[in-house]
């Protein structure tokens, strides 16, 4: 290899590292803001008279969340960076309102414990997805199919009302979202190589933040359900 070629490769690698580090910083900043909005909203709603409003309107809020996620996912490419950013934070706000009910079901100490364990697990999983040299793209389809099957099984269990089946499903869904965390981090690294900057970069930050936010929230909820001792 000629010296000029070696220098070109080294400069390209350094550029890719800088680009990915920037994506990490921008993505996790947005994810943290989203989690903060969710946590603050959930606590305010749970400790004020708003909880009665949320309790009565919970199905409407849940449907609104689903619609927002669908619009975000299906219209992501056509929407402006500002629109997808607003939608992400709006979803975090709505999710905070719907999650406020956990303060009525679980003890505050247990919620805090589940959150800390989630943060630790998420950090380890994200680090692995970031640093591994393995191509995890093949996990995407498998995890997506498993997730859909898990959601269907959860709906079925609403009618069966089997406690053992529910516990087994919680463990399965927990492992699925752990896998998705590693996959999403690995995918983010792959996407950074084709990043062109500008509006595309901003939308990538928001997209990755939304994916990791959902992974974090779902790991937290499954851990809380598995650890939970109801009031």
Q: How many beta carbons lie within 10 A of that of residue 83, not counting itself?
A: 16
**Average pLDDT of the segment spanning 129-140:** 84
Average pLDDT, the chain: 84
Percent of the chain with pLDDT over 70: 86
Q: State the first-to-last Cα distance of the chain, in angstroms, to the nearest integer.
A: 68
pLDDT band at 163 (very low <50, low <70, confident <90, very high): confident
pLDDT for res 231 = 46
pLDDT for res 4 = 44
pLDDT for res 193 = 64
What is the DSSP annotation of the chain? --HHHHHHHHHHHHHHHHHHHHHHHHHHHHHHHHHHHHHHHHHHHHTSTHHHHHHHHHHHHHHHHHHHHHHHHHSTTTS-HHHHHHHHHHHHHHHHHHHTTHHHHB-HHHHHHHHHHHHHHHHHHHHHHHH--S--TTHHHHHHHHHHHHHHHHHHHHHH--HHHHHHHHHHHHHHHHHHHHHHHHHHHHHHTT---THHHHHHHHHHHHHHHHHHHHHHHHHHHHH--B-
The 10s digit of each residue's pLDDT in 177-198 is 999 999 999 888 777 666 555 5
The 10s digit of each residue's pLDDT in 7-62 is 433 444 444 566 667 778 888 999 999 999 999 999 999 999 888 888 888 888 88
pLDDT for res 138 = 82
pLDDT for res 44 = 93
* Gyration radius (Cα) of the chain, Å: 20
């Amino acid at each position: 290899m000629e010296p000029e070629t070696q220098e070109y490769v080294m400069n390209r690698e350094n550029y890719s590292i800088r680009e990915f580090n920037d994506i990490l910083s921008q993505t996790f900043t947005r994810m943290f803001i989203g989690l903060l909005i969710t946590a603050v909203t959930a606590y305010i709603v749970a400790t004020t008279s708003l909880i009665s409003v949320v309790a009565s309107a919970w199905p409407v809020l849940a449907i609104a969340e689903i619609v927002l996620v669908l619009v975000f996912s299906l219209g992501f490419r056509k929407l402006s960076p500002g629109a997808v950013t607003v939608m992400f934070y709006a979803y975090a706000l709505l999710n905070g309102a719907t999650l406020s009910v956990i303060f009525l079901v679980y003890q505050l100490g247990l919620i805090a414990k589940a959150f800390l364990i989630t943060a630790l697990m998420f950090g380890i999983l994200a680090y692995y997805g970031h640093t591994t040299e393995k191509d995890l793209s093949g996990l995407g389809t498998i995890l997506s199919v498993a997730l859909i099957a898990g959601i269907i099984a959860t709906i079925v269990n609403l009618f069966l009302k089997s406690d053992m089946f529910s516990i087994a499903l919680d463990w399965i869904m927990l492992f699925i979202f752990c896998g998705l965390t590693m996959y999403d981090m690995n995918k983010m690294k792959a996407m950074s190589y084709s990043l062109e900057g500008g509006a595309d970069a901003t939308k990538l930050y928001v997209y990755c933040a939304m994916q990791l936010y959902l992974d974090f929230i779902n790991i937290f909820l499954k851990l809380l359900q598995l650890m939970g001792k109801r009031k």
